[in-house]
Structure 1
Amino acid sequence: MNLRDYWDLIMIMALSLLLDVLIAVYPDSILRKALGLAFVLFFPGYVFITALFPERKELDSLERLALSFGLSIAIVPLIGLALNYTPWGIRLIPILVSLTVFNMVFSLAAIYRRKKAISPWIPWITLDRIKEELEWERSSKLDRALTVILIIAILTSIGTLAYVVTHPKPGEAFTEFYILGPGGKAADYPTDLFAGENGTVIIGIVNHEHRNVTYYVQIWLVNLTWDNSTNTTIIHEMYPMPGWFNVTLPSVPVNIEGNWTPQFEANYTFSIDKPGQWQVWFLLFKDKPPELPPAPPDGNYAETGARNLILEAINGTVQSLKLNVKVTS
């Protein structure tokens, strides 16, 4: 057995294992991205075609090249579809392991089939071999021109695909804004209080805006009703609550593989002196807070332009959170 006769298949197995190491050790390296392209778009189809058609006469080199890309595009989604029905799901590690196993198994099958072949196809890349495959000497000028155009188109497509994959468009920019109960869960919110009793929530912010952002948090105590006859919101009372703050956060990537982790959280304790049905509104602004009108003598902003902040929050044009609180005397 001459290992040179199986150099392509041995190289695919070695590169598949090398990619596994790169993803574990150097996940952001350029080499990982380049190998990842070949690992997904070429290796599976190549080893599959080589295992099916080991004889040289069955397919020429250009056909094998085209089928390797085409079958890879078909095989990888099928593996992903199969993983979707397993406990592991479509995630990086299961996909990586599945494709590595696929490449290894079919590489070994291709080695066995090539060893048993009468006239095996072995991809030696030389200028004379390329001319022979393309029947260059016997082709007309038109056929030669079309062949050159086809090769240029294939190389351009591969280059374009490589650029798109290695320079992905940034994902959607957004901010996570949430409140939790005092126990750090989305439960046990202080929704029933006595007048003057303290209630505590946790305010959380996570920046996915792809840039540093200064966030401004305003907290308002609001009493409002809905007028069914006019389909409008009527704000009766609106008071600023103590504890407004701002914080500057760097952007963090969205991690869909690991466990979710908070970026910024702060405890907020409040109390309400007046009995009734109240709403505590948490408004979030980026980079610059809105200007407020002068404070009214009684502190009630319901009849000022500040009421538009709550109306915009209700309409969804201002990022906000609301906590309904019943206060008894």
Structure 2
Amino acid sequence: MSNRAVYADTVATIALTAGAILAVLNLPPVTARAALAGILVLFLPGYALTTLVFPATKETRLSVGDVPSAFVGNNTKHAGVPFLERAALSIGLSVALVPLFAWSLEVSGVEFLAPNVAAACGGFAIVAALLGGVRRLRTAAETRYVVPIGTVAAYRNAAHDRSNWDNVLNVALVGAVVVATVVVTFALVSPASVASASYTQASLLTEADDGSLVASDYPQNLTVGESGELVLLVENYEQETTRYTVVAQLQRVESNGEVTATSEIDRFSETVETGDRWQLTHEVAPSIPGENLRLTYLVYKGDAPENPTIESSYRHVTLWMDVTEGGDSDAQNTVSSVESS
């Protein structure tokens, strides 16, 4: 048996993984990329793992069918995982590994996008296949696993001897695997192609004593001229580099929701890479007194209009506060929530 035959599937696994990664990175979503991405996510990681875990075609262990022989130490050779069972196990293991890959990306702070998913699945498959090749090298030549030729034909012939019920179950299993492959491929490998995945997130926070950002302890009770520090966080998930403009306003709002007075505090602009965030630390010093004044940060993509409003903004966050004349320290905070959109 040549080394080419022994390591043919290992080499094929690595080559197919590399090709699938290139397809995910360079081809449009609805092309051969979809098929290769499905193989990359739902087959190759599991198959590479079976190569690592099951390097032999046979294993030697104590017989479990003959209980007394286990006590006298008789050894019996049992077949390892055959090709078709190995292929089915590969799909099951790959599906089980997907949440692990997603968790790894989340923990490492990497965004769940097609290139990152491909890197996680492909990297695991290549490493496992290489380690599996090493294990085969250390396995006795007569027991090394080799992809059998004619396995599919032999399985087809054996199927004629099975009951109709068994054949129906096999067809149902294949159909379920195909459906799962299609759904998971488009849901996981091409998340960036979904239009709803493009968005911007704006949050209003404060900095705690330890330097962390928290959604509490807002400066909602100030006097005219007194300043309070806030942190506006703008996160770019637009799938492209975006220039943002932020307008900070202090508004007097009547009980019916009508804005009767607006004081523009400042304007800021920043270009943010996709997947990155803009952390804007802002000192707020109200110049007008009043109860239930609304501090508003209006976020626009590109330039802001001359007369910005909440209705015209792309995103906005607001904070209600009481501002009193200097020397009055008895004002009460009547609203304790931050509104965002």
Report the TM-score when normalising by structure 2: 0.52
- Aligned partner of 1:242 in structure 2 is 263
Distance (whole Å) between structure 2 residues aligned to residue 180 and residue 62 of structure 1: 58
For the residues of structure 2 that align with 1:7 and 1:167, how far apart are their CA atoms? 30
1:106 aligns with 2:141: no
Structure 2 vs 1, CA of residues 273 and 101 (structure 1 numbering), >3 Å: closer, same or farther? same
Contact kept in structure 1, 2:202 and 2:317, CA below 8 Å: no
Secondary structure of 1:122's match?
A: coil
| 1:134 has 2:136 as partner | no
Amino acid at match of 1:122: V
Alignment match of 1:282 (pick from 285, 296, 314): 296
Which residue does the alignment assign to 1:52?
54
Tell me the distance in 2 between the aligned counterparts of 1:80 and 1:202.
Answer: 30
In structure 2, the gaps of 5 or more residues are: 59-78, 111-115, 302-307, 328-341
Structure 1 residue 194: deviation in Å?
7.0
Cα displacement (A) at 1:101: 2.7
Measure how far apart 1:328 and its partner are.
0.9
Provide, for residues 13-64 of structure 1, a one-character-per-residue CA deviation record: whole Å limited to 9, x for no partner: 34445667778xx377657765554344323332333442632753433212
Describe the superposition over 1:240-265 as per-residue Cα deviations: whole angstroms up to 9, x where unpaired.
12329999x99986x3xxxx4229x7
- Percent identity over paired residues: 19
Q: For 1:78 and 1:158, how far apart are their aligned partners in 2?
A: 18
Shift in Å, 1:69: 1.3
Cross-structure match for 1:162 = 185
Q: After TM superposition, give the deviation of residue 157 of structure 1 in Å.
A: 3.6
Question: What secondary structure sits across from 2:320 in the alignment?
Answer: strand
Q: Cα offset for 1:105?
A: 1.3
After TM superposition, give the deviation of residue 9 of structure 1 in Å. Answer: 0.8
**Distance in 2, Cα, partners of 1:269 & 1:137:** 76
**Structure 1 length as normaliser, TM-score?**
0.54
Secondary structure class of the residue paired with 1:176: strand
Structure 1's unaligned 5+ residue stretches are 225-233, 292-317
Closer, same or farther: CA 286–15 of 1 in aligned 2, 3 Å:
same
**Letter in structure 1 aligned against 2:181:** I
Alignment of 1:1-329 (within 5 A): 1-16=2-17, 26=25, 30=29, 35-50=36-51, 51-52=53-54, 54-55=56-57, 57-75=79-97, 77=99, 89=108, 91=110, 92=116, 95=120, 97=123, 100-110=126-136, 112-113=138-139, 116-118=141-143, 120-124=145-149, 129-136=151-158, 138-139=160-161, 142=164, 146=168, 147=170, 150-168=173-191, 170-171=196-197, 175-178=201-204, 195=224, 219-222=249-252, 239-243=260-264, 255=275, 260-262=276-278, 272=287, 274=289, 279-282=293-296, 319-328=317-326
